[in-house]
């Protein structure tokens, strides 16, 4: 009887551990866009937003409150140092600011979006 209980407990523990490791990590942070910024072809007006990156799906989402503004494919790129704060990098192309990457505070990677993310 002890053997069956012990085996069942170990099996339950292994299932729990494998289930928790299969879920990706989601990074979230508040960001401020100083000017209207293009993200994957969609213009996001300047202002305060919530950015969320899902490691499992490889998608960056930008929310205004609970409303999804834009979702785009992205990928991680290693940094040399841990990010001290959340940073938003844009590039000026013509008259448009395009989102290049977001560095989440405390992270050792940048989230590259758009063409840089592919």
User: What are the structural domain ranges in the chain?
Assistant: 25-117
- Inform me whether the pLDDT recorded for 95 exceeds 50: yes
Quote the pLDDT of residue 58.
Answer: 93
Quote the pLDDT of residue 13.
Answer: 57
Of 13-17, 94-98, 101-105, give the lowest mean pLDDT range: 13-17
Mean pLDDT over residues 64-83, rounded?
A: 94
Largest CA distance in the chain: 74
Mean pLDDT over residues 91-109, rounded?
A: 93
- Inform me whether the pLDDT recorded for 20 exceeds 50: no
- Helices and strands: H and E segment counts in the chain: 1, 9
């Amino acid at each position: 009887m002890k053997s069956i209980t012990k085996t069942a407990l170990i099996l339950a523990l292994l299932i729990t551990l494998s289930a928790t490791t299969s879920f990706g990590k989601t990074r979230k942070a508040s960001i401020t866009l100083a000017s209207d910024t293009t993200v994957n072809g969609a213009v996001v007006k300047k202002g305060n937003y919530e950015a969320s990156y899902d490691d499992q799906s490889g998608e960056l989402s930008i929310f205004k409150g609970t409303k999804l503004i834009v979702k785009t494919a992205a990928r991680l790129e290693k940094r040399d140092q841990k990010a001290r704060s959340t940073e938003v990098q844009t590039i000026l192309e013509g008259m448009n600011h395009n989102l290049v990457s977001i560095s989440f505070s405390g992270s050792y990677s940048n989230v590259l979006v758009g063409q840089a993310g592919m």
